[in-house]
Amino acid sequence: MTNAIGTSTARVDGIAKVTGTAQYAYEHPFTDPVYLHPVQATVARGAVDTFRSDKAESVDGVLAVLSPWNAPRLADVSDPELSLLQGPEVRFRGQIIGAVIATTPEIARHAQSLVEVEYTTDDHDTVLRADHPDRYPEDDPQTIGDDVDEKLSSAQLVIDQRYSTPEEHNTPMEPHTAVALWDPAEQHLTLTTATQGPHSVVDTLAPLLGLEPQQLRVVSPHVGGGFGSKAAPHGHDLVAALGALALPGRAVKYAVTRQQGFVFVGYRSPTRQHLRLGARCDGTLTAIDHESFSQVSPAGTFSESASSISASMYAADARRLVHHLVPLDVPPPHWMRAPGEAPGMFALEVAMDELAVAAGIDPVELRIRNDPDRDPATGNRWTSRRLVECLHEGARQFGWRDRDPHPGIRRDGEWLIGTGMASATYPHVMSPGTKVTIRHDGGGRYTVRTGAADIGTGAWTTLTLISADALRVSRERVTMEIGDSSLPTATVAGGSSGTTSWGSAIVATAEAFRRQHGDDPEAGAQTTGGVSEDPLAEGYTAASFGAHFVEVRVHPGTGEVRVPRMRGVFSIGRVINPRTVRSQLLGGMVMGLSMALHEKSVRDPRFGHVVTQDLATYHVPVNADIEDMDASWLDETDELATPMGSRGAGEIGIVGSAAAIANAVYHATGTRVRDLPITPPALVRD
C-alpha cells in the first residue's frame, strides 16, 4: 500500500477551479452556438389550445420555434416528465410547452415573450394535506415486532405529535444547463450537460430520442453542485436535444434560469408526519409509529418517504411505518440530499427530544439507552454501529456535560441561549455496475477511466487516491478520467454511493489488472473490470452514523435565531481524503442549518407555482450565518462494507442537524417548533 488513502490531499482540479478555467456545461467552446429559451405554461392543469408563434418567428435572429405540435417526435413517450412538446397536455404550471431558438440569448428570450398561448384549463390542487381524499399508502405498512397500538396504550410515556417540513429546492450554484449538438452526417448527438451521472443520462434519453446508446455522448467533466437535482435528466436536457434535432449541426445552448430552476429540475416534496413514541419511564422505547405524507406529480413517480428512517434507528418492541402519497398538480419532486432521511430524521429526533424532556432524561443518554444491538428492521448484524461513540465524542467536544435541561432561562443581553443535539444516520449504499479501465502508460504511470461525476464531492481526487493505493503507486502517477459517457459505464453520484461504488470497481479492476499483467506490466497493458454486485456479506447491515451538537441564540422579541456553535461527529468508515470529506460533512451540516432556519419554497395554491423563485426570496445561508462549526469522525475502517473500508459521507451531515437546531431553540425559548423552517415569524409571539 502507498497510503494515499487517508492522506489529506488538495483537489486535483483545484487550480482549474480557483482560476475559473474548469469548464462547466455552458462553457465548453462551440462554433456559432445558438440559444434556446423555453415557453412555459401559465396554467397548472389543462391543455394548450392555441400556440401562436408568428410574432416570435418574425423577430430577426429567430431560427426556430418549437411547439407541442411541430417539435421532433420522441420514439417513446412513456416517461411523462420527459415527454415534452409531444402534445398539448399541461400537468403543472411552468411546464415547458414550447421553445424559441435564436442567434443570441437576448433575442431568444425576447421572442419567447411574444408567443401567444391559449389554454383549456381544469381545476388544480397543489396543497399537501395529510387528510387529502386522494392520498394512498405507497406500500403496506411495515410492522415489526409487537402490536404498536397495544404497546402505545400500555406505554408509561407517550409522545404523539405532528411535524412538517416544507417544499425545498436544491438550488445548486450552477443552474442546470444543457448544450446539444446533432451531427446529421454521423447521426450522433453530443449533450454537454450538468449531471451527476453521464451514463444515466444516456440510458434515459437515448431510447426516448430513438437513438442507440452509442449515438449519444454525454459530457460533464465539472458540475457546479447537484444535491440530487442533477441525478437524472430533466426537461431542459430533453428540450435542448429536440432543439438540436430541429437545427442539425448547430450547438443549441439552454441555460436554465434561476427562476426556472424552481420549476422542472426537481425539488424536495414537503412532508407531513405523525409520530407516536411509546416508552417506559426510563426512556426505553416500547413503540414507534411513524406515518408520513409527501406529494407526487402526474409527471413523475418520485416519493419522499420520510418514515423509513424509523426502521433501524432505535430499538423498540413494536414499530409501524407507513408512507402515503398525495397526487397533486405539481412538477415532479425528485432527489434532494438525503431524500426521506432528512425530513424523517427531523421529526424523529425532535420527538426523541420531547421524550427526553417528558422522561426527565438527558437527550444523549436517551439515545444511548435505545441503541439497538442488531438492525431492528432485519435482525441483521451491523458491520459497525458506533453511534454511541459519536454521541460521547460529540458531547465531549461540545462540553455537553452539566447542561441544565430547563428551557428558556439563559440570557446574554437581549438574547436567549440554548443547546440541543440529535443523532444522524444514513444507509450504506453500493450501486453495482460500474466499469473501469486501467491502462499502464509506461514508467509506472497509469490512466484510470470511468464515467463517474464530481459534483463537488472531490471524486476527481478521491478516485485518484483509491487508484494509487490499488495500483501501489504514488498518486502523482495516476491520471483520472471521469465525467464522460464515452468512458466505461459508471453509476450515479447519489445516495452517498459514489466513492463506494466507483472505488470498489477501481479496486477490483486493479486486482484484475495485476492478475492479467503481473507486477511489471508492459506499457499499454490494459484491463477493464468492475463489480457486478454489492460485496456486503449476507446478514449484515451497513450504515453511517453521527451526532450533532448545537448552541443557538434566539432574540425573543424578533424571533431571530443565530447558531454560534455547531459540532458534528461521524462514523463513516475509513476516510479516503480527510480534506474533502470534512468539507462534505460541513456542507451537509450547513444545509441542515439551512433546512432548520431558512429554506421554504412557497407554492401559491391559486396559481400552482412556487412564488419564492429566486435566491433573494428562497433563502439559503450566507457566510455570516455560519459561525463556529466543525465536523470530525471516528478513526475506523469498515472492510465489511467496502474494500477501501469506507462508507458514504455525502448526505449524513444534513441528517439530524435540523432537529438539533430545533431542539436547541426549544432549550433557549421553551417554544417547541415542529414545522420547519424556524424563521423569525415562526417564533415571534404577541
Partner 1 sequence: MESRLALTVDGEEHTIEVDTRTTLLDALRDRIGATAPKKGCDHGQCGSCTVIEDGRRVTTCLSLAVAHDGASIVTASGLSDGDLGLHPMQQAFIEQDAFQCGYCTPGQICSAIGMLAEIADGSPSFVTEDLADPPTLTDAEIRERLSGNLCRCGAYVNILAAVRQATQHSDKGAA
Partner 2 sequence: MRPFDYERATDAADAVARAASRPEAVFLAGGTNLVDHLKLGLVEPELLVDISHLPLAAIEQEPDGTLDIGANVRNADLAAHPAVRRSHPLLSRALLSGASGQLRNLATTGGNLLQRTRCVYFQDVTTPCNKRSPGSGCSALGGHTEQHAIFGASQQCIAVHPSDMAVALAALDAQVSLLGPEGVTSMPVTELHRLPGDSPERDTVLDRGQLITGVRIPPPPAGARHTYRKVRERSSFAFALISLAAEMVVEDGVIASARLALGGVAHKPWRARRAEEVLHGAPAITETFTAAAKAELEQARPLEGNAFKVPMARAMIVAALKELAVETT
Per the document, the length of the chain is 686
The beta strand positions in 328-377, using DSSP E, are none
Q: Which is nearer to partner 1, 503 or 588 (CB)?
A: 588
597 contact, one of partner 2, partner 1, none, CB 5-8 Å limit per kind? partner 2
112 part of the interface to partner 1, by CB under 8 A: no
Enter the C-alpha cell of residue 194: 450538468
328 part of the interface to partner 1, by CB under 8 A: no
- Report the nearest approach of partner 1 to the CB of residue 578 (Å): 10
- How far apart CA 191 and CA 167 sit, in angstroms, is 30
Rule CB under 8 A: choose which of 2, 257, 447, 679 binds partner 1: 257
113 contact, one of partner 1, partner 2, none, CB 5-8 Å limit per kind? partner 2
Residue 627 — φ and ψ, nearest 5°? Answer: -100, -120
21 contact, one of partner 1, partner 2, none, CB 5-8 Å limit per kind? partner 1
DSSP annotation of 65 reads E
Taking contact as CB under 8 A, which single stretch among the options 78-86, 106-114, 372-380, 670-678 is the one that binds partner 1? 106-114
Q: Contact 9/475 with Cβ under 8 angstroms? A: yes
18 part of the interface to partner 1, by CB under 8 A: yes
Taking contact as CB under 8 A, which single stretch among the options 20-28, 340-348, 392-400, 401-409 is the one that binds partner 1? 20-28
- Report the nearest approach of partner 2 to the CB of residue 526 (Å): 50
Q: Which is nearer to partner 1, 51 or 262 (CB)?
A: 262
Residue 121 CB neighbours (<10 A): 15
- How far apart CA 549 and CA 568 sit, in angstroms, is 6
620 part of the interface to partner 1, by CB under 8 A: yes
Radius of gyration, CA atoms only, the chain:
26
Of 345, 315, 437, 293, the residue nearest 652 (C-alpha): 345
Strand-pair partners of 46 = 90, 121
Q: Which is nearer to partner 2, 60 or 186 (CB)?
A: 60
In a 10 Å sphere around its CB, with 0-12 CB exposed, 13-18 middle and 19+ buried, how is residue 316 labelled? buried
167 is catalytic: no
> x/- string (CB under 8 A) for partner 1, residues 276-315?
----------------------------------------
233 part of the interface to partner 1, by CB under 8 A: no
Helix (H, G, I), strand (E, B) or coil at 528: strand
Enter the C-alpha cell of residue 608: 400552482
- Report the nearest approach of partner 2 to the CB of residue 87 (Å): 22
**Which residues in 518-528 are b (16+ Cβ under 10 Å) and which e?**
eeebeeebbbe
Taking contact as CB under 8 A, which single stretch among the options 45-53, 133-141, 488-496, 612-620 is the one that binds partner 1? 612-620
- How far apart CA 100 and CA 93 sit, in angstroms, is 19
In a 10 Å sphere around its CB, with 0-12 CB exposed, 13-18 middle and 19+ buried, how is residue 255 labelled? buried
165 contact, one of partner 2, partner 1, none, CB 5-8 Å limit per kind? none
Q: Which of residues 630-659 bind partner 1 (CB under 8 A)?
A: 630
Three-point CA angle 477, 482, 488, nearest 5°: 105
Of 224, 194, 199, the residue nearest 16 (C-alpha): 224
- How far apart CA 683 and CA 567 sit, in angstroms, is 24
Tracing cell 386522494 back to the chain, one arrives at: 134
Taking contact as CB under 8 A, which single stretch among the options 26-34, 69-77, 274-282, 516-524 is the one that binds partner 1? 26-34
408 part of the interface to partner 1, by CB under 8 A: no
Q: Which is nearer to partner 2, 207 or 621 (CB)?
A: 621
Interface with partner 2 (CB under 8 A): 42, 106, 109-110, 113, 414, 556-560, 562, 597-598, 602, 604, 606-607, 609, 611-614, 616-617, 619, 621-625, 679-681, 684-686
Of 405, 469, 659, the residue nearest 548 (C-alpha): 659
Q: Which is nearer to partner 2, 42 or 143 (CB)?
A: 42
Q: Which of residues 144-183 bind partner 1 (CB under 8 A)?
A: 171-175
Tracing cell 431568444 back to the chain, one arrives at: 108
Q: Which of residues 572-611 bind partner 1 (CB under 8 A)?
A: 579-580, 582-584, 586-591, 594
Q: Contact 572/638 with Cβ under 8 angstroms? A: no
- Report the nearest approach of partner 1 to the CB of residue 315 (Å): 33
Rule CB under 8 A: choose which of 227, 346, 549, 666 binds partner 1: 227
Q: Contact 672/664 with Cβ under 8 angstroms? A: no
567 part of the interface to partner 1, by CB under 8 A: no
- How far apart CA 635 and CA 25 sit, in angstroms, is 38
**CA 335, chain centre distance (Å):** 5
Q: Which is nearer to partner 2, 401 or 685 (CB)?
A: 685
Residues of the shown chain interacting with partner 1 in the complex, contacts defined by CB under 8 A: 10-11, 13-24, 26-27, 29, 104-107, 110, 171-175, 222-225, 227, 255, 257-258, 455-458, 579-580, 582-584, 586-591, 594, 614-616, 620-627, 629-630
State the catalytic residues. 651
